[in-house]
Chain A
Amino acid sequence: MDQRWRPTVNERDFIERALQSDLRVDGRRPFDFRRLKILFGREDGSAEVQLGDTRVMGYVTGQLVPPYKDRPNEGTLAIFTEFSPMADPAFEAGRPGESAIELGRVIDRGLRESRAVDMESLCVVAGKHVWSVRVDIHILDNGGNLIDAANIAALAALSTFRRPECTVGGEDGQQVTVHDPEVRDPLPLTIHHLPIAVTFAYFGEGNIMVIDPTYKEEAVMGGRMTATINSNGDVCAIQKAGGEGVMSSVIMQCLRIASVKAADITSKIKNEVNSYTSAKALQKVKRLPASVPQRDNISDVAMKENTDGALEVQGAKATSDVQQINKELPSIVKDKQEDVEPMLTEWNPEVKSESKLIAGESGLSAVLNSLILVDMVSKFHCSPDGAHARCYSLSSLTKSAVKYGRMEKRTNRKSQ
């Protein structure tokens, strides 16, 4: 069963002839990259890269291991590449083929020997415990130029990976305690620079070269060269394994083009990583259990803090409202890309209608209660959000009061 796709004579002819007039089959110019999209998963250290049709997923994990004997105070970095048969019917499951191994080696050389990731900061107890970082690269869709896409996936995943914080203690200073991510924030890896791989394909006896070949161009090309360069212009690795002979002046030109492209891609990666990290940090600050309608605590909060008898009645009503919502919520089954927290959006309308009842009460009592509620909210939010609490409207104050009640219960549960 030969699964390998072979280009027809017509396709080969067409691609080569078009390149002689500087035209590529998908309409790009010879030195254009395809559209690059970097997406991150929910966990730290998982990234998916789409470079045109090529899709690669990178996943980083870490664990504590004893170090190598000849490097007792350095951590280890290992790259595992799997060419999944999902990407191409020609790939076989099981043992990685030569191109899979070559890809793994090129990425490994770019990261390890250029010291892009700081290994010494991964040491916990010299000679006994170091962090071993494992990068798994899964090729999901082979649309050509796997090396570049896999490299970007590995870099994006390493940039968002967080390892748990651990402290050394005990009597002999050898006991290592690894802290839970909830207790202490996990730490990022120290990455000095980002080595970007840029692949060139040669056609027509080494005269014509293109960047970022597609799957069909790869089948027709005469030779390939991958240059791993960082944004400072340092050449981290070059891989040219056989293929067409190319003049040295052409190689120098390729390196110059590669450094320009590397700077471009580096800034893209950094932007994406920054926006992901800041979005995640924001989520942490506002972290509230979005959809746990507490049944008993609302009346507690209302009765504890207010002096106005009227609000007590309202508090009881709030309880019954929330109870109703609890039973009414149907099983929510949504189609693609919709709000992941459906419960919150459905719950709010009920709370808003309730707050209107409060607003209907005498202005003074309402103001009094709003002040008390704001006080509670700002005390609890010891974050910049506390400053905003004072500008909240009444409806959102009620929301916050309810959330405060839930947070209280949560901290009570934690302290138990």
Chain B
Amino acid sequence: MEEIRADGRNPNQLRPFSCTRNPLDRAHGSARWAQGDTIVLAAVYGPKPGTRKGENPEKASIEVVWKPMTGQIGKQEKEYEMTLKRTLQSICLLTVHPNTTTSVILQVVGNDGSLLPCAINACCAALVFAGIPLKHLAVAIGCGVLEDGEVILDTSKAEEQQLKSFAHLVFPNSRKSASSKAANQKEEDSEQGLITSITHGVMSEDDYFNCIERGLAASSRISDFMRTTLQKQAPGDA
């Protein structure tokens, strides 16, 4: 029996995505990532000389600033900043430009659930548009667990408020496989790790592993989308 969600999606269906390349003029790289009504604008200023006090000068450091739509910056924003910083540190090649600081600034333009995954996707796109060297992309997805153990993807704000528990998961992007043999793909999938996982509420172990599995499947679709968007260039570019 398939549950129909409030906005009519299937449990595995994501909201329409869109990514705008470099909407801002001053920033070195910027991206406006929209998942349904959740919209986040991310701007990246490339490596600036020097690191902050307390940062390791042998590596590049990343500084994240999160700006909410309204209100003062509180603990929730600080938590988002810390999560983003650690996630981005694991995807950037930190040894290419040692003793530099790369700033990532986020502005929440609309919030309709799955805000952290949307922000991570926006940051990743902005870093690519700025030309910062990365190991791989970070693909983020929000999963919610219903009472009967069913997992729904890309939760909206109303769903998050009603759900008992939900998780925000970040995976590295899936590799492009030349052959599409199902057996090979399964092995590759199990090799990929989980970069970040933030859960809210109580869920059983099985539910959590379920979330990871579904999230991984969805992340391959999002990585395909990223691959096409991030590669699109103006005609005439090398």
Contacts and interface: CB of A to CB of B under 8 A. Distances in A.
A340 B14 CA distance: 12
B54 interface: no
Interface in A298-343: 326, 329, 331-340, 342-343
A331 B109 CA distance: 25
B50 interface: yes
Interface in B6-52: 7-10, 12-14, 16-20, 23-27, 30, 36-37, 39, 41, 43, 45, 48-50
Given A326-B2, A333-B222, A86 B24 contact: yes
Interface in A332-364: 332-340, 342-343
B69 A59 contact: yes
B103 A85 contact: yes
A61 interface: yes
B221 interface: yes
Interface string B193-224: 00000000000000000000000001001101
Interface string A378-402: 0000000000000000000000000
B18 A82 contact: no
Contacts of B132: none
A1 interface: yes
Q: How many residues of A sit at the interface, in one of the four size bands? A: 35 or more
A142 B26 CA distance: 7
A336 B24 contact: no
B179 to A, nearest CB: 22
A55 B24 contact: yes
A333 B107 contact: no
Interface residues of B, number: 45
Nearest to A82: B67
Nearest to B25: A53
B12 A335 contact: no
Contacts of A340: 16, 36
Contacts of A337: 18
Contact of A336 (B20, B43, B67, B221): B20
Nearest to B19: A336
A339 B24 CA distance: 24
Contacts of A334: 16-18
Interface string A85-117: 111110001000000000000000000000000
B54 to A, nearest CB: 16
Interface string B115-154: 0000000000000000000000000000000000000000
A86 B43 contact: yes
Contacts of B26: 53, 87-89, 141-143
Contacts of B167: none
B18 A335 contact: yes
B107 A57 contact: yes
A338 B18 CA distance: 8
